[in-house]
């Protein structure tokens, strides 16, 4: 009887026509494993995405819906030498905890054995060896064997098991040369001891294992800390909500059972499970994840709340606008996953180096051995030299330390409110010397206030509000919010940079720029009294109205612009808003270069002009009309409140109300890129010096183990520096 495998519970349907599943995979330890898995899975027909996340040992797979059974992926991974199963957070954490404990035990055993073996080896290797009787030396060697052999058999399991899986699948990975080096050194030592030889290499083998385990533990610890950021987000998700079945009756239901328009009850001390709007009640809420503000915010009728928000005091009734995967928290989680999977140009270079690592090391060791034999050396001396070559080159610092910089930097940037949305964003952000800001919703707060709503006929305000629901522009959102509209009009089209329009009961309606609605004169009459005010016009047939909207600059906008200036970065505003409003904002922020009334095409033209001069431009914008400029810039950034198209186009996304993440992104990127280059050169210089010396037979396996361990730990500790940048208040 053949068992069937049902993975339907783990499959998510994506648009257009794609399916997605996350698999946990055991045995992934290096960039070489990642490349092998991705190549192996991508070769399956109809697979559109296969991306390994080394941080949480997870594979994201996408394929054409209905074309494949997910069981085929698990079978293919088994052929490649890896055990896989559907990814579940709780199970993954349990496996991770168990692996971490096992790694710690291995490290403890290896370290204890190293200390004891070195105590026995020092007299043999020291100058007093000449005074030592052969019987004493043999006795010390046998004692070393008694300590080192069982210790290596236990502590070397992480490498031996991984290497065996790779060899069984007829491939290699970084653990293969490590295992060959350790086993060869131990075998030779036993043979030497049996034949009463002067030297044995138990100390080199066990020391190599100790330092490799220390490096692996350090690497796992850094990845665990980065993964904890995503884990904290998952902890904010509530699995159930209290739904109103009727006006007087409530019931606890799974979040998946909620729909848009449902009303839920949020009691004090509970986390909100959905995105929505408060329709009744007063309270204080903690929305620090979304707004960046750690102080509690008041919540009352009309206040927007998001999944993950903590309700502090009063009871609230909330009308659901999004649940489960549609919430802002889910979007942030997806972006963070993307950030941890993103790979820069340097990481891809390290990946390629890792793929070449094992065959190059094996070839170098074999050529060294045969070269010395041909030169007249004994087989014994030739094998010892080859073992030294094998040890001194493993593991390749380039393959380990550069991906670690990216992982550490991605976690640090998230803690600063920045999410990476593209693989090479770090490198491109580090080169920025000119930042272009959009004004509305970027330099200003995304939530604006309508000041003259009482002067508009209620039926026109409601109609304009329903029309505004079709737009993501912050000014339109202010109109929709003020009208209380919840039912959007159908058949509405957005014209980028102008506004939205459609037909209602045979009458054309428009909402957008005053010129778009032939309402310039009316807008000028309102705006002449307040240059900081913005205007949006509404046209219903031949009838026109103008809404006055007040904008507020982000609280730290001035400090952020000053911080950019101190870094030698030029700042410019390109806005579609009218000139007096843009001029007032630029003057307030100390920005000399600004342009108002700019269309999307003119923004692209300006960015192209700067790029032609060799300027590296970062575009920061949020609206649908900013998407082309975001794509045209050297690197781009959007707030989390931006339109989905802008978010998808941007290379980086920042959270909360403050603008400081723009500076943080540049600082962390510059620091990370500098460390990547340092590690690259450290790895190159180490290999350029150490490998020829080892091939020349001038290094014993013990010295090789010390040199290799020192170089790998040095570059990994250097990578940890990417977690912090110089403190500066913005």
Residues that are catalytic: 438
- Assess contact for 460 and 483: CB atoms under 8 A: no
Q: At what angle do helices 328-341 and 397-415 cross, to 10 degrees?
A: 160
Q: Torsion angle of alpha carbons 145, 147, 150, 154, nearest 10°?
A: -130
- DSSP states of 435-459: EEE-IIIIIB-S--EES-GGGS-HH
Q: State phi, psi for 457 to the nearest 5 degrees.
A: -55, 135
Q: Containing H/E element for 37?
A: helix 31-42
Q: What is the DSSP letter of 625?
A: G
SS3 per-residue string spanning 711-728: HHHHHHHHHHHHHCCCCC
- DSSP states of 103-142: HHHHHHHHHHHHHHHHHHHHHHHSGGGGGS-HHHHHHHHH
User: 656: left (phi > 0), else alpha (psi -120 to 50), else beta?
Assistant: left
Q: Compute CA 499 distance to the chain's CA centroid, rounded to the nearest angstrom.
A: 34
Beta-strand relationship, 543-550 and 449-450? antiparallel
Q: Containing H/E element for 63?
A: strand 58-64
- Assess contact for 237 and 260: CB atoms under 8 A: no
Distance, CA of 340 to CA of 727 (rounded, Å): 24
DSSP-assigned beta bridge partners for residue 319: 263, 277
- Assess contact for 719 and 675: CB atoms under 8 A: yes
Alpha carbons within 13 angstroms on the beta-carbon side of residue 163 total 16
Distance, CA of 435 to CA of 571 (rounded, Å): 5
- Assess contact for 296 and 261: CB atoms under 8 A: no
- 253-265 exposure pattern, b = at least 16 Cβ within 10 A, e = fewer: bebeebeeebbbb
DSSP-assigned beta bridge partners for residue 281: none
Q: Torsion angle of alpha carbons 407, 408, 410, 415, nearest 10°?
A: 150
Total residue count of the chain as it appears in this document = 730
Query: For the purposes of burial, counting CB atoms within 10 Å of the CB of 490, is it exposed (0-12), middle (13-18) or buried (19 or more)?
Result: exposed
SS3 per-residue string spanning 325-360: HHCHHHHHHHHHHHHHHCCCHHHHHHHHHHHHHHHH
Number of H helices and number of E strands within the chain?
A: 23, 27
């Amino acid at each position: 009887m053949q068992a069937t495998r049902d993975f339907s519970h783990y499959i998510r349907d994506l648009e257009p026509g794609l399916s997605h599943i996350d698999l946990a995979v055991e045995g992934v330890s290096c960039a070489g494993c990642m490349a092998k898995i991705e190549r192996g899975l991508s070769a399956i027909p109809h697979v559109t995405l296969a991306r390994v996340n080394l941080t949480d040992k997870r594979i994201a797979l996408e394929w054409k819906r209905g074309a494949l059974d997910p069981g085929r992926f698990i079978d293919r991974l088994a052929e490649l030498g890896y055990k896989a199963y559907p990814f579940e957070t709780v199970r993954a954490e349990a496996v991770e905890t168990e692996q971490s404990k096992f790694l710690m035990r291995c490290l403890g055993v290896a370290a204890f054995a190293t200390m004891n073996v070195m105590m026995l080896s020092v007299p043999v290797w020291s100058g007093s060896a000449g005074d030592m009787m052969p019987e004493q030396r043999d006795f010390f060697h046998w004692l070393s064997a008694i300590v080192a052999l069982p210790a290596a058999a236990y502590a070397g399991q992480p490498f031996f098991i991984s290497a065996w899986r790779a060899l069984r699948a007829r491939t290699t990975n970084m653990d293969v040369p490590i295992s060959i080096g350790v086993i060869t050194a131990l075998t030779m030592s036993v043979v030497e001891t049996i034949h009463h030889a002067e030297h044995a290499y138990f100390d080199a083998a066990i020391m190599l294992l100790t330092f490799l385990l220390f490096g692996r533990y350090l690497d796992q610890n850094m990845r665990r800390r980065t993964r904890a950021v995503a884990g904290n987000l998952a902890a904010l998700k509530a699995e159930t909500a209290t739904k109103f079945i009727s006006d007087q009756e409530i019931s606890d239901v799974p979040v998946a059972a909620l729909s848009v328009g449902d009303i839920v009850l949020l009691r004090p001390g509970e986390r909100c499970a959905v995105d929505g709007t408060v329709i009744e009640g007063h309270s204080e809420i903690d929305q620090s994840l979304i707004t960046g503000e750690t102080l509690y915010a008041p919540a009352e009728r009309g206040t927007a709340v998001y999944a993950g928000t903590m309700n502090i005091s009063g009871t609230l009734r909330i009308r659901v606008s999004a649940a489960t995967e549609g919430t802002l928290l889910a979007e942030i989680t997806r972006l963070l996953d993307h950030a941890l999977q993103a790979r820069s140009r340097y990481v891809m270079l390290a990946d390629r180096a890792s793929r070449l690592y094992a065959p190059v090391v094996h070839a170098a060791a074999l050529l060294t051995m045969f070269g010395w034999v041909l030169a007249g050396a004994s087989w014994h001396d030739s094998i010892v030299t080859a073992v030294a070559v094998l040890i001194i080159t493993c593991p390749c610092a380039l393959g380990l330390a550069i991906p670690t910089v990216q992982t550490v930097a991605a976690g640090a940037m998230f803690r600063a409110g920045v999410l990476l949305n593209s693989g090479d964003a770090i490198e491109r952000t580090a080169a920025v010397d000119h930042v272009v800001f959009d004004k509305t919703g970027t330099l200003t707060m995304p939530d604006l206030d309508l000041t003259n709503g009482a002067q508009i006929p209620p039926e026109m305000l409601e109609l304009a509000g329903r029309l505004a629901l079709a737009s993501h522009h912050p000014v339109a959102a202010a109109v929709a919010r003020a009208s209380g509209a919840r039912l959007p009009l159908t058949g509405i089209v957005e014209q980028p940079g102008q506004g939205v329009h459609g037909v209602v009961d045979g009458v054309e309606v428009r909402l957008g720029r005053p010129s778009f609605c032939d309402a310039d004169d009316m807008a000028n009459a309102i705006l002449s009294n307040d240059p900081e005010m913005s205007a949006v016009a509404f046209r219903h047939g031949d009838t026109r109205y103008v809404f006055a909207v007040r904008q507020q600059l982000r609280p730290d906008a001035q400090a952020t612009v000053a911080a950019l200036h101190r870094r030698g970065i030029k700042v410019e505003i390109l806005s579609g808003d009218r000139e007096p409003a843009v001029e007032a904002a630029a003057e307030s922020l100390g920005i000399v270069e600004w342009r108002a009334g700019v269309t999307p095409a003119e923004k692209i033209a300006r960015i192209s002009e700067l790029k032609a001069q060799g300027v590296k431009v970062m575009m920061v914008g949020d609206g649908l009309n900013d998407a082309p400029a975001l794509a045209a810039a050297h690197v781009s950034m959007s707030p989390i409140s931006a339109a989905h198209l802008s978010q998808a186009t941007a290379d980086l996304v920042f959270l909360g109300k403050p603008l400081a993440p723009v500076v943080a992104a540049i600082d962390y990127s510059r620091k990370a890129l500098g460390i990547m280059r340092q590690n690259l050169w450290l790895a190159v210089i180490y290999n350029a010096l150490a490998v020829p010396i080892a091939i020349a037979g001038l290094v014993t396996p013990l010295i090789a183990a010390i040199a290799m361990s020192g170089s790998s730990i040095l570059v990994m500790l250097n990578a940890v520096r990417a977690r912090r940048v110089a403190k500066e208040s913005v």
